[in-house]
Amino acid sequence: MTVRNILIHPDPRLRKCCERVDEITPELRNLADDMLQTMYDAPGIGLAAPQIGELRRLIVMDCAEEPNAQPSPVVLFNPETVWNSEEVETRDEGCLSIPEQFAEVQRPAEVRVRWEDLDGRPREEKFDGLWARCVQHEIDHLNGRLFVDYLTPLKRQMITRKMVKLKRERARA
């Protein structure tokens, strides 16, 4: 397993619509392992493949909330929302590709998601709370969408400018 480099916004690869995965090959299982390792190392609660430059429909999550909770890694290939609640919820959201920036985003409180697991088996589950928030954020990544897209243009520009500066500093270091 390898900790991979996380792309920082703005980056054209974070704006692409990712390709469906047809067959879950050993290479894709390794990619899922790398993504989990990268997510835990960051640390974060979710990561989408395009964030490490792999334009495939694959996300990983672990939203176990209690401080001493057992790790609960979930790997989702080709995830799609098949239902969302009318009830919405506003929560502070962040992103490993937009470090240290947080803003309130409104999304459906619950979603039902269909995906394929590591063995290629079809799965379907309803998510709520932090899991619902995270899975919607990660599926957005597969469609080239970032949480800053839900903010006002002014707020988005402010955050984007900070990220450009951060990337410049990191390139110099």
Measured CA to CA in angstroms, residue 170 lies from 26, 165, 166 at distances of 33, 9, 6
By CB under 5 A, name the one of 95, 111, 113, 159 that touches Ni ion: 95
Q: How far is the CB of 68 from Ni ion (least distance, A)?
A: 25
Distance from C-alpha of 65 to C-alpha of 150, rounded to nearest angstrom: 25
Q: What is the DSSP string of 127-144?
A: E-HHHHHHHHHHHHHHTT
27 vs 105, which CB is nearer to Ni ion?
105
Q: Could you give the residue ranges of the DSSP H alpha helices within 66-152?
A: 129-142
28 vs 49, which CB is nearer to Ni ion?
49
Residue 139 sits in the site that holds Ni ion (CB under 5 A) = no
Closest CA to 134 of 70, 53, 79: 79
Residue 151 sits in the site that holds Ni ion (CB under 5 A) = no
Q: How far is the CB of 25 from Ni ion (least distance, A)?
A: 25
Q: How far is the CB of 97 from Ni ion (least distance, A)?
A: 5
Tell me the window of 52-60, 71-79, 87-95, 107-115 that interacts with Ni ion (CB under 5 A).
87-95
Residue 52 sits in the site that holds Ni ion (CB under 5 A) = no
Q: Which residues are catalytic?
A: 138
Residues 6+ positions from 65 with CB-CB distance below 8 Å: 129, 130
The footprint of Ni ion (CB under 5 A) covers: 95
